[in-house]
Amino acid sequence: MSPFEYENLDTAVQDVNTPRWYAVRTRSRFELTTSLALRDKGFTEFLPTYRSKRQWSDRVKELDLPLFPGYVFCRFSASDPWRVLNSPGVVHIVSAGNRPIPVEDREIESVRTVCGADVKASPSPAIAPGQRLVIVRGPLKGAEGILVRTKDQCRLVVSISLLQRAISAELERDWIAAEC
């Protein structure tokens, strides 16, 4: 959750003595090392992973990869972040200025539910309505436009600016990727 989504940031981080979930940024590919180090220090940590098949020239191997590359979630009191910051692989705690921003408990629980369910999960870009998209699969491959959500549908809106006209087409979620 971005700091701009809080109505009152001071209220969100007011009680720094209460343990909350925080996103901890790690060095590249240090998620597991950091997670184990935090657990060894007595913290409640959470590293959501997914199974991915990788092919080498001589074999195919299944790996557990982080759902949020570069991040581990840790529950601690914001009044004493130093033990977390001094753990192996930790770069910083996601913050607004010098105040760590807590992750909503319901968001962590939702991720835990997905990870605990027998469903195939994988990282996905956070695509918000109004964001520019590039279609990467399906019959609209290569088309660019803006994502619009209507009821239970995702639609691609393609505009001709000169004419101030647009068309929209229904999309399947796996056809789209955020524009870089």
Q: How many C-beta atoms surround the C-beta of residue 173 within 10 A?
A: 8
Helix ranges, 62-173 (H): 82-85, 105-116
What is each CA distance from 71 to 30, 33, 65, 84, 178, in whole angstroms? 9, 11, 12, 13, 20
Query: How does pLDDT run across 52-109, given as a tens digit for each residue?
Result: 999 989 999 999 999 888 999 999 999 989 999 999 999 999 988 888 989 988 888 8
Residue 47 one-letter amino acid: L
- For residue 175 the two structure tokens come to 């056809």
Round the average pLDDT of the chain to a whole number and report it.
82
Q: Please tell me which residue, 66 or 133, carries the higher pLDDT value.
A: 66
Domain 3-116 fold is Alpha-Beta Plaits (3.30.70)
Does residue 29 carry a pLDDT above 80?
yes
Query: What's the confidence (pLDDT) of residue 158?
Result: 77
pLDDT at site 14 = 54
Highest mean pLDDT among 40-54, 111-125, 152-166: 40-54
The residues near 93 (Cβ < 8 Å, ≥ 6 apart) are 22, 23, 24, 25, 81, 84, 85, 100
Look at residue 160 in the predicted model and tell me its pLDDT: 65
pLDDT at 11 over 60: no
Q: Where are the domains of the chain?
A: 3-116, 132-178
**Identity of the amino acid at 109:** E
